[in-house]
Amino acid sequence: MSTLTPAAADWLGVDPDSRSFWEGLCRHELRLEACDTCARVRFPPMPACPYCGTVGGREREGSGRGRVYSWIRVHRALLPEMADQLPYTIVTVTLDEGCRMVGRLDPHVDPFDGMAVAVHYVDHDGWTELRFHAANPWAAGAGEPR
């Protein structure tokens, strides 16, 4: 757990649309927005539903489970602050709720299309990061299509 500090919120770029999401991560909760009209779940948080245009919506707890849709593995320090973390893997995940998120795959396994993943939370100074890990680590990597 952590507490979202003003300095971290400023550095992250937290805005009125996203504050609840970031505060949720600090509590190790995944807060997603759902539309009151069409019920579609969206990410990132935004003022209206991107599927039907309905303004507002309600928050709901995400399952934290999903499937890998695509991935990259970063080998070069394009971001200087990440130089000591190389190489690392970023996955795009289709959550069970239907929306997509990106996150670090930690620990790294060789991802494959449709690989089942789940979220976990990594606390930093003043904020918390959402990461993914293979939901069935014994099934990952071995003999799967790359």
Partner 1 sequence: MTGAAITGVGYTPFTARSDRSVLSLAREACANAVADAGLTPAEVDGMASFSVMHDSVPCVAVATTLAIPELRLAIDLDLGGQAACALVWTAAQAVAAGQARHVVVFRALNGRSGPRVGTMRFAGGGGQYRYPIGYGSYLMYVAMWARRFLLETGQGEQEMGAVALAQRAYAGANDRAYRRQPLTMEGYLAEPWVVEPFRGSDCTVEVDGACAVVVSALDAARDGPVPPAVVASGAYRAGGRPGLDIGDHLGWEDYSRNYTSLLRDELFGRAGLRPSDVEVAEIYDCFTSTVLMGLEGLGLCDRGGSGTFVAGGGTAIDGPMPTNTHGGLLAEGYLHGMNTVTEAALQVQGRATVQAPRHHVCAVTSGANMDGSALVLTADR
Instruction: Report how far residue 104's alpha carbon sits from residue 25's, in angstroms, rounded to the nearest whole number.
Output: 15
In eight-state DSSP terms, residue 41 is: E
Interface stretch with partner 1, choices 27-35, 45-53, 56-64, 133-141 (CB under 8 A): 45-53
Q: Can you read off the two tokens belonging to residue 19?
A: 């504050």
Query: Nearest approach, Cβ of 133 to partner 1 (angstroms)?
Result: 14
Burial category of 111 from C-beta neighbours within 10 Å (exposed 0-12, middle 13-18, buried 19 and up): buried
Which of residues 10 and 36 has its CB atom nearest to partner 1 in the complex?
10
Residues that bind partner 1 (CB under 8 A): 11-15, 17-18, 22, 42-44, 46, 50-51, 69-76, 78-79, 82, 85, 87-88, 90, 92, 99-104, 113, 127, 129, 131
